Amino acid sequence: MTSPTIDPISAFSSYLMLHLKRSSNTVSAYVSDLQQLETQLDASVLELKSQDIRHFLSLLAEQNVNARSRSRKLSALRAFFKFASLNGWVEQNPVAEIETPKLAKKLPKTLGLSWVNQLLQAPDLNHAFGVRDRAMLELLYATGLRVSELVGLKVSEMRLEAGFLLITGKGNKQRVVPFGEQAGSWLKRYIFQARPELVVGRKNDWVFLNRFGVAMTRQAFWQLIKKYALQIGVPRNQISPHVLRHCFATHLLDNGADLRSIQMMLGHADLSTTQIYTAISRARLRQVVSDHHPLERH
């Protein structure tokens, strides 16, 4: 083991900026975290052992520092001791066996049914693009498709009369996704009335076409949703294509659908991924009680 000839934190800072090309904000945060640790424990960072770092993280938890901030500080330590090991300044990495604090899962954003209805009705149906947009919104809410699956949908993958789609999702896995009568009627109106107006030049198999007659991009559809959200008064940061996917799942769950069926339609590989929606329903129920129970109202 060798001793550094310069301040190890300063050397680490230069390494982050010059070799790893980290942003100035990241470098500043990491340096601040290391200096805080030295101040808190009254010791050089190179002298620290695993028990010292665990003690430091415990102190932060007692001070109500949230898991995300504690996790970032641990990331700073991991990066520093990796750098120190490369330079031969430490024999053992004291953070190697320290687990990252578990972060609480954020509940997905959703919209109430009234907002969803207004969003679905926002497109102008006097032109082909409006009919296309209405069909896309209806299908997204009716099926919970990922936006990439929606814009990548092909005519050959639709079974309009039978009421289902053949979707190839993550991991190249195919699943059958049903849709209801309302989404089906808008799909038919678009396919048979509006889509022929959007075909430019050689025909293709993409369902939803842009003004150039090719498949719409994910970014373009994202902008469409933002436009319609602004039109009906939904804050821009509350809406995205994925929010409609969340609405599909939570509204089904609220109305009695079972998790396993929702999992299959969403294309989740693991049921635990789908279970986040039960937390949304519980949160909504708690809010109902808080808003309407006579002993809770102020």
Catalytic residues: 146, 170, 242, 245, 268, 277
Q: Give the number of other CB atoms < 10 A from CB of residue 215.
A: 17
Contact 130, 183 (CB under 8 A): no
Contact 65, 72 (CB under 8 A): no
Which strands, in side-by-side order, build the sheet including 174-178?
A: 158-159, 164-168, 174-178
What residues have CB less than 8 Å from 19, skipping those under 6 apart?
A: none
259-263 own/partner pairs: CB under 8 Å, 24+ apart: 262/144
- The DSSP result for the chain, as a single string, is ----SS-HHHHHHHHHHHTS---HHHHHHHHHHHHHHHHHHTS-GGG--HHHHHHHHHHHHHTT--HHHHHHHHHHHHHHHHHHHHTT--SS-TTTTPPPPPPPPPPPP---HHHHHHHHT-S-TTSHHHHHHHHHHHHHHHH---HHHHHT-BGGGEETTTTEEEEE-GGG-EEEEE--HHHHHHHHHIIIIIHHHH--SS--SBSSB-TTSSBPPHHHHHHHHHHHHHHHT--GGG--HHHHHHHHHHHHHHTT--HHHHHHHHT-SSHHHHTHHHHHHHHHHHHHHHHH-TTT--
